[in-house]
């Protein structure tokens, strides 16, 4: 496969291959790095997927949940919410700083209070964040109230969370026993338990299907719907004749086709829906497959470029147009792959001489040119090397951007890419 950028730190270096096509859509530079969670690795990182919350980026690591505001570019990323799951009195006196790091002095308590997974939920005039810890609890955090409003007890510690795509009050959980359950966060009842042992779950864009990574390494797709059935426990009618006519809703899940992989389920690092019947799966060896789940056809496959360490392939994401995918290859590189042209657009070196194995990668929903990456306990934000008017309209941001001590721009500047000129 041809790559249009060389494997060095200068992204503007001219390529020596005349056959390669130039594509400057994702020519980016590091603009912000934030270290959080008292040195504990970040376990989950996700943008709010709902309309109106595109600027919110949430992470969990250690006993903390952090929410960042990515509404503007560069160094203006800020922390909106910091929730700490802690019960010990660690303050020595009133003169001690509130944010002092005392958790490391209580490693056993920190391990219990640490979060494993988070997900966003859409509620009426609010966004919820569900966070699962090692004490078999799910914390429900409200963005409007800026606090934890409910704690749901579970039978085992939850390691994966996913909000139901169709029903906003339903939370899908996968625990340490590999049991996948659908829980109503209102009354805390279990609506459905999947009979198969699961590791990951994703919903289709149409919300009528979902795929699950099984512990044996297979990916199985299910069809879901809700039926109205008679309630056997319905109360009697007012006339006392005993003919109860109460009705209730229940989930009806039917297993569809199964795609078989060579390894175990733990070898699959991440998978996402590309379209309603096509998924993209990445494993720990850096191999990616595009699979049609209707006929189990392998449509396309490729592998991450460069040296790769087993177990360090990060979670990946698609852009809004679903034509590009971003991921890290565990060798201090951000890689962007064009799914339509089936070629690499960019390999971005992020460090000099040291490895930064990324665990999460995502495009910013508000700024498609920007990229959020997570490695260890740090969050990195990459913005376009050239400011683009269409994606960054705020003049306040432009006035404070410097490179090598020289102010960049004081007014809007549009960039016309070669790919756009070819379309004209």
Mean pLDDT along residues 360-371: 86
User: For residue 386, which of 365, 412, 421 has the smallest C-alpha distance?
Assistant: 412
pTM: 0.81
With a cut of 60, say whether residue 398 has pLDDT above it: no
Mean pLDDT along residues 180-209: 93
How far is C-alpha 264 from the chain's CA centre?
A: 22
Question: 255-277, pLDDT tens digit by residue?
Answer: 999 999 888 888 898 999 999 99
Neighbours of 258 (CB within 10 A): 16
Mean pLDDT computed over every residue of the chain? 79
| Residue 17 confidence (pLDDT) | 42
How far is C-alpha 387 from the chain's CA centre?
A: 26
> Is residue 359 one of the residues assigned to a domain?
yes
> Is residue 409 one of the residues assigned to a domain?
no
User: For residue 288, which of 266, 262, 310, 269 has the smallest C-alpha distance?
Assistant: 269
User: For residue 212, which of 225, 195, 189, 191 has the smallest C-alpha distance?
Assistant: 195
Residues ≥6 apart with Cβ < 8 Å to 363:
317, 318, 319, 320, 324, 326, 370, 371, 372
Report the alpha-carbon distance of residue 230 to residue 242 in Å, rounded. Answer: 14
Question: 270-305, pLDDT tens digit by residue?
Answer: 999 999 999 999 988 888 999 999 999 999 999 887
> Is residue 67 one of the residues assigned to a domain?
yes
At 243, the pLDDT band (50, 70, 90 cuts) reads very low
SS3 string of 34-62? EECHHHCCEEEEEECCCCCCCCEEEEEEC
CA dihedral 260, 179, 210, 201 (to 10 degrees): -80
| Residue 328 confidence (pLDDT) | 78
| Residue 348 confidence (pLDDT) | 73
How big is the chain, counted in residues? 424
Using a pLDDT cut of 90, give the percent of the chain over it.
38
| Residue 173 confidence (pLDDT) | 96
At 158, the pLDDT band (50, 70, 90 cuts) reads very high
> What are the φ/ψ torsions at residue 109 (nearest 5 degrees)?
-70, -35
> Is residue 379 one of the residues assigned to a domain?
yes
> Is residue 12 one of the residues assigned to a domain?
no
Which residues are bridge partners to 220 per DSSP? 212, 258
Q: How many domains does the chain have?
A: 1
With a cut of 60, say whether residue 222 has pLDDT above it: yes
> Is residue 58 one of the residues assigned to a domain?
yes
Which residues are bridge partners to 236 per DSSP? none
The alpha helices in 143-245, defined as continuous H runs, are none
Residue 222 contacts residue 251 (beta carbons within 8 Å): no
Cα separation values, 192 from 96, 170, 249, 332, 345, Å: 48, 10, 11, 42, 43
Question: 99-113, pLDDT tens digit by residue?
Answer: 556 777 888 989 999
User: What tokens does 311 get?
Assistant: 């177990």
Residue 389 contacts residue 412 (beta carbons within 8 Å): yes
User: What domain range includes position 131?
Assistant: 28-91+102-232+246-385
Report the alpha-carbon distance of residue 6 to residue 12 in Å, rounded. Answer: 9
Which residues are bridge partners to 42 per DSSP? 61
Residue 174 contacts residue 200 (beta carbons within 8 Å): yes
Mean pLDDT along residues 381-399: 65
> Is residue 273 one of the residues assigned to a domain?
yes
At 15, the pLDDT band (50, 70, 90 cuts) reads very low
Residue 116 contacts residue 158 (beta carbons within 8 Å): yes
Residue 401 contacts residue 395 (beta carbons within 8 Å): no
Question: 294-334, pLDDT tens digit by residue?
Answer: 999 999 999 887 766 665 667 899 988 888 999 876 566 77
Local structure of residue 3 (DSSP, 8 states): B
> Is residue 408 one of the residues assigned to a domain?
no
Looking up residue 164, the CATH number of its domain turns out to be: 2.130.10.10
Report the alpha-carbon distance of residue 179 to residue 215 in Å, rounded. Answer: 11
Neighbours of 28 (CB within 10 A): 20
């Amino acid at each position: 496969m041809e790559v249009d950028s060389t494997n060095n730190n200068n992204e503007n270096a001219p390529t020596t291959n005349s056959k390669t096509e130039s594509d400057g859509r994702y020519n980016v530079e590091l603009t912000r790095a934030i270290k959080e969670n008292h040195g504990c690795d970040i376990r989950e990182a996700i943008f709010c997927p709902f309309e109106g919350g595109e600027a919110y980026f949430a992470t969990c690591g250690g006993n903390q949940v952090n929410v960042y505001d990515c509404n503007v570019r560069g160094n203006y990323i800020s922390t909106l919410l910091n929730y700490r799951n802690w019960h010990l009195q660690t303050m020595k006196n009133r003169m001690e700083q509130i944010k002092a790091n005392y958790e490391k002095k209580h490693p056993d308590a920190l391990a219990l209070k640490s979060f494993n997974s988070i997900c966003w939920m859409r509620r009426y005039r609010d966004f919820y964040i569900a966070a699962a810890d090692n004490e078999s609890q799910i914390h429900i955090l409200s963005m409007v109230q800026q606090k934890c409003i409910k704690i749901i007890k579970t039978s085992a510690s939850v390691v994966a969370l996913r909000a139901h795509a169709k029903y906003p009050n339903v939370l899908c959980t996968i625990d340490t026993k590999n049991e996948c359950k659908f829980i109503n966060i209102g009354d805390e009842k279990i609506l459905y338990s999947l009979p198969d042992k699961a590791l990951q779950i994703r919903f289709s864009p149409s919300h009528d299907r979902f795929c699950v990574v099984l512990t044996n390494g297979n990916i199985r797709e299910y069809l879901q719907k809700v039926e109205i059935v008679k309630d056997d426990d319905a109360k009697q009618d007012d006339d006392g004749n005993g003919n109860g006519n109460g009705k209730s809703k229940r989930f009806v899940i039917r297993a569809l086709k199964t795609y078989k992989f060579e390894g175990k389920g733990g070898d699959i690092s991440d998978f996402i829906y590309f379209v309603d019947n096509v998924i993209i799966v990445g494993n720990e060896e850096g191999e990616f497959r595009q699979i049609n789940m209707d006929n189990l056809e392998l449509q396309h496959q490729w592998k991450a470029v460069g040296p790769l360490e087993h177990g360090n392939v990060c979670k990946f994401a698609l852009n809004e147009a679903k034509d590009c995918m971003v991921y890290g290859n565990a060798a201090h590189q951000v890689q962007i792959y064009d799914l339509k042209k089936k070629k690499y657009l960019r390999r971005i070196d992020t460090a000099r001489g040291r490895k930064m194995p990324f665990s999460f990668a995502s495009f910013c929903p508000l700024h498609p040119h920007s990229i959020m990456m997570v490695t260890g306990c740090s969050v990195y934000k990459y913005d376009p090397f050239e400011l683009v008017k269409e994606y960054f309209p705020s003049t306040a941001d432009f006035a404070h951007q410097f490179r090598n001590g020289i102010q960049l721009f004081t007014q809007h500047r549009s960039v016309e890419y070669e790919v756009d000129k070819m379309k004209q």
